[in-house]
Structure 1
Amino acid sequence: MPPEPQTSGIVLDHAAVTLTGRPILHDLTLALTEARIGIIGRNGSGKTTFLRLIAGLIAPSMGTVRVDGFDPAADRRSALAGLGILFQNPDHQILFPTGEEELAFGLRQQGRTTDDALRAAREALAADGRAHWGAVPTSALSQGQRHYLCLLSVLLMQPRTILLDEPFAGLDLPTKLRLARRLAALPQRLITISHDPASVAQADRVLWIEAGRIHADGPPDAILPAFTAEMVRIGERDSDTDITG
C-alpha cells in the first residue's frame, strides 16, 4: 500500500517556477515541518520567488506545492486561514488610510462583518498598547511602526504559518530588537527569508538557495559558516556578473 500523503507542514514535490520564459526555481522537493525555518541566499538567488510560491501568489510551472494539505495557489480561502505574509517593504502591503482599517481588512477577507472586524482591530491595538494608532493615518507612522502594523494585521488573522521577507531590513536597532522579541514568542511556524545569516541563526533548519536550487540544507551551525565563507569569497572578487536577477 502506498504511503499516505503528508498533510502537515509545507511539501514541495518537484516544484519549479519559470517567469517570462526564464527558469527561476528548479525541481524543488522538500518537506518543511520545523517551527523555525530560515531561507538564505544572495540577492537574485530565488528566495523571494520561493516565498511567493509557498504563499500561493504564484503557481508552480511544474510539480506541486501543498501547505497543510491544500494548494495555496488554487485554494485562496484556505491560504487566507493558513498563511500570513510580512513583506520587506510595508508600503507594498498597507492598503488603507488608517491603522484600524488596515487591521480590519484581513478579517473582512475572512468573512467577518465590517463592524465586527473594526471592533476586533481596535481591541487588538488597545491590547498591544497602540490604541492611538487606530485613527492615525498610516502615512504618519514611521517605517518601523508601519512594519509592526503589518505584523499585527497578519497576527489578527491567526494563520498557522507566517512567511517573513527580510523582516529586519531598514529598521533601526531598537525596532529590530522589539520585532525580534515579538517574533520569537509567536506559536506559529515562521519561515524567514534573508540574506543576513544573523537573522536566521536561531532557526531549527536553514535552506541555502543558490541560482534557484537548494545548495545546502541543515541546522544553522552547519549551514551559516559555509554560507558566510562563500559570501566573503565572492565579495573579494570585483565582478558580480554571475547574478542574473
Structure 2
Amino acid sequence: MNASPAIELQGVTLVRGATPVFQDLSLSLREPRVGLIGDNGAGKSSLFRLLCGLEEPRAGTVRVAGQGVGSLATGTVGLMFQNPDEQIIFPTVEEELAFSLSARGLPRREAREQARAFLAQRGLSAWAERAIGSLSQGQRQHVCWLALVIGAPQVLLLDEPFASLDLPGQALLRQEIAQAAQTVIVSTHLLDHVRDFGRVLWLERGRVRADGPGAEVCAAYEADVAARLAAHQLSLADAA
C-alpha cells in the first residue's frame, strides 16, 4: 500500500446559509483507512465536500499532500456520492469508466480501450456496453466505485457506499476497499464496515465527539444511541 498523503484541516469554519456546520475544526489524517460515523446532519458529507473542493471554508485551511484543495491536480481526490444517480453522467458503463481516464488527459479511444480491459480483469466484460438504466441500484453504486478506482486518485472519499448494496455486494466492496492502494475514508451508518479500521471519527453537530480505534469509537457511539433511546431522546425525526 502506498504511503498515505497527509490531510490537514486547520481552524476550519464552514457556514451554509445562516447555519454553522463547522467552527474552528482542526484534523490531521494520515492513516490509510479512516471511518466517519455519527447521526445524520453531523457533518460527514460536509467534510467530504471540503476535502474535494466542492465547498470552501469561511475561515481556516484545508490541505491534501501539502497543497491547498483549490490548487490540487485533477484526480488527487475522488468522491463517491451517496446516490449513484447523482454521480453517473454517461449512458453506458464503458463510457462512465472511460471518462475518469479522459479527465486525466487520456485520448478518448485509448480511454475506452482501457476501460474495457479494466472490466475484463474483474470478470465484468459483459458490463462494458450495458446501459446504466439497466443496472440495479447496487450495480450502479459499484460502477461509481469502479470509476473512482480506474481514475486512480490518491484519496477516495466514500459517502455511504454500502447503503444500496445487498450482502454480497457489501462483502465485495469491503474486500476491494481493503485491497485498494489509495487512502480511503468511509462515511457510513453500517458500523461493522469500519469497526476494524485503525481510526474512526465520530462527528456530532460539526465537532469530533470521539477519535480513535474503530472498535472503541463504534462501541461508544452505539452506547450513546442506546442511552438516548432509553432516555426517550430519540424520535423518528432523528432518523430521517
TM-score scaled by length of structure 2: 0.92
Match of 1:30 in 2: 27
* Aligned length, in residue pairs: 235
Matches within 5 A, 1:63-78: 63-72=60-69, 74-75=70-71, 78=73
Residue 197 of structure 1 contacts residue 228 of structure 1 at CA under 8 Å; is this kept in 2?
no
Q: Which residue of 2 aligns with 1:130?
A: 124
Asked if the contact 2:162/2:190 (under 8 Å) is kept, the reply is no
Q: How far does residue 195 in structure 1 lie from its aligned partner after superposition?
A: 2.4
Please say if residues 56 and 71 of structure 1, whose CA atoms lie closer than 8 Å, have aligned partners that are also in contact. Answer: no
Q: Select the residue among 170, 179, 201 that pairs with 1:176.
A: 170
Do 1:125 and 1:131's aligned partners in 2 also have CA atoms closer than 8 Å?
yes
Can you list the C-alpha shifts for 1:175-222, whole angstroms capped at 9, x where unaligned? 111111111111211101112321210111111110001111111232
Q: CA-to-partner distance for each residue in 1:72-126, whole Å, 9 max, x for gaps?
A: 2x225x1x32112122211111100001110111211111111111111111111
Give the 3-state SS of the residue equivalent to 1:159 in structure 2. coil
Percent sequence identity is 39
- Secondary structure at the aligned position of 2:68 is classed as coil
For the residue of structure 2 that corresponds to 1:81, the secondary structure is coil
Shift of 1:13: 0.4
Report the TM-score, using the length of structure 1 for normalisation. Answer: 0.90
**Cα separation, 2, equivalents of 1:167 and 1:131:** 23
Tell me, in whole angstroms, the C-alpha distance in 2 between the residues paired with 1:39 and 1:173: 21
1:54 aligned to which of 51, 74, 85: 51
Structure 2 residue ranges without an equivalent (≥5):
none
**Contiguous gaps of at least 5 residues in structure 1:** 1-6
Contact map agreement 2:196 2:215 (CA 8 A) in 1: no
Cα-Cα RMSD: 1.9
Task: Flag the 1:231–1:209 CA change in 2: closer, same or farther, 3 A.
Answer: same
Q: How does 1:177-216 map to 2 (within 5 A)?
A: 177-216=171-210
Q: Name the stretch that deviates more: 40-49 or 229-238.
A: 229-238
Equivalent runs, 1:1-245 vs 2, <5 Å: 8-72=5-69, 74-75=70-71, 78=73, 80-236=74-230, 237=232, 239-240=234-235
